[in-house]
Amino acid sequence: MSVMTARAARGATPRDGTPDLLRRSLRVDGVGTAVFGAVMLAGGRWLADPLGLPGDWFAPIGIGMLGGAAALGLIAGYPRVPAGLARAAIAANALSGAVMLPLAVTGALPLTGLGVAFMLAGAAWVLTFAGLTFAGLRQSGSHA
């Protein structure tokens, strides 16, 4: 068992005081958010019809996602992740999921089957990372 695996198994905290789960969840969420933002910016013209999303939504959402990805990267880069910023990331992900789920299933948008799957995948992503970041924050003891 490697040192990293042993530390992860114990829920250990690196020397900087931030649990691995908290920092890693923020970093992976940031990378995924950046990829999603880039896809929205670059592919909006081609994705609008197959997904059933309004074409003029892609650029603002893509720019917002890239901004969110940058924020997640900055938060994860602190020597010790501030609890308030981690909570803000959790809240942003939970809110995003709370918006995407109803949009995917209520018919409020003229989504295609692929569009529904795209929205559900996005909701699953943000809700998963809200949970992982929350678990990492609890692990850090800074959740109060």
pLDDT at 143: 52
DSSP-derived letter for residue 43 is H
pLDDT in the model for residue 8: 46
What whole-number distance in Å separates Cα of residue 19 and Cα of residue 65? Answer: 25
> CA 123, CA 93: separation in Å to the nearest integer?
9
Q: What is the pLDDT of residues 40-96, one digit of tens each?
A: 999 888 999 999 998 999 999 999 999 999 999 999 999 999 999 999 999 999 999
Dump the DSSP string for 44-89: HHHHHHHHT--GGGHHHHHHHHHHHHHHHHHHHHSSS--HHHHHHH
Copy the structure tokens of residue 2.
């490697």
pLDDT recorded at residue 5: 44
